[in-house]
Amino acid sequence: MNYNKFLKKKREEVGLSTRGLANKIGVTGSYISMIETGKSKNPPSEKILKKLSEALHMTSSEEEKFFELVDEEILPKRIKDKLEALNKNSRSDKSNIGPIIFEEMINVPVYDSVSAGCQDGLEPNPEPVEYVSLPKRMAKGCVIVNVHGDSMEPTLENGSSVLIKLNAEVGHNEIGVFIYDDEPLVKRYKSFDGKSFLYSDNLEYPPREVREENEFNICGKVIWIMAKP
């Protein structure tokens, strides 16, 4: 099933006509029909797609599926169109970037707390606050977590986001996500003389030693610090 058929099926399930749905999101009924039949010359914008999801009261799982289908069909076309435009306006004999490779993209869930993003499920049935499309080769098996607090400044500012590879080993002096006595933490892992510690980059916070009596789990490794919006 493509996203067009998914959209039509969901519209019919909630009992809306094409005109009824169009009125809800501020477009024409003919435009909805063109989307559903795949006859629209230009793919819907992200803003329109989000409005469609809200107007049809999609559940989180339905919305996730809807945007997965959209990414499979629309995203490659948008990337291809942009690259074709670039190629059209550039001289190939002066290009020094090599061949352009189209990458498979995946939707990566974004969580607003470390506890929600941790594999151990410290929060019951955590729901992502959004999804971000990233290259599969980089983001497979990953989640994005919004970091709050100043314990890792200046490396991680309050409100910044990190891409975490779940179940990945965290080496000496690398940043990871840990469960320390039921507390989720983003810290720098260090090991000295057979002892392990969790360090904050903000020197106002003391290190924590990982001892046998502590409940300690590694959730994953921070592989990318994303720009603060």
How confident is the model over 8-33, as pLDDT tens digits? 999 999 999 999 998 988 888 888 98
- pLDDT more than 90, % of the chain: 27
The pLDDT of residue 226:
81
Per-residue pLDDT reduced to its tens digit, 46-55: 788 889 999 9
The pLDDT of residue 49:
86
Q: Does residue 123 surpass a pLDDT of 80?
A: no
Structure tokens at 36: 């559903």
Q: Does residue 80 surpass a pLDDT of 60?
A: no
Per the CB < 8 A criterion, the answer to whether 154 and 135 are in contact is no
Q: pLDDT band for position 227 (50/70/90)? A: low
The pLDDT of residue 173:
92
The pLDDT of residue 102:
58
Per the CB < 8 A criterion, the answer to whether 188 and 210 are in contact is no
The pLDDT of residue 91:
44
Per-residue pLDDT reduced to its tens digit, 183-219: 889 999 999 888 999 999 999 999 999 998 988 888 8
The pLDDT of residue 124:
61
Task: Characterize the bridge pairing of strands 161-166 and 195-199.
Answer: unpaired
pTM: 0.54
The pLDDT of residue 229:
55
Mean pLDDT, residues 128-156: 88
What CA–CA distances, in Å, run from 35 to 55, 119, 143, 177? Answer: 15, 38, 31, 42
The pLDDT of residue 95:
45
Ordered by where they begin, the domains of the chain are 3-94 (1.10.260.40), 107-226 (2.10.109.10)
Give the closest residue to 155 by CA, choosing from 96, 200, 116. 200
Structure tokens at 23: 């009125």
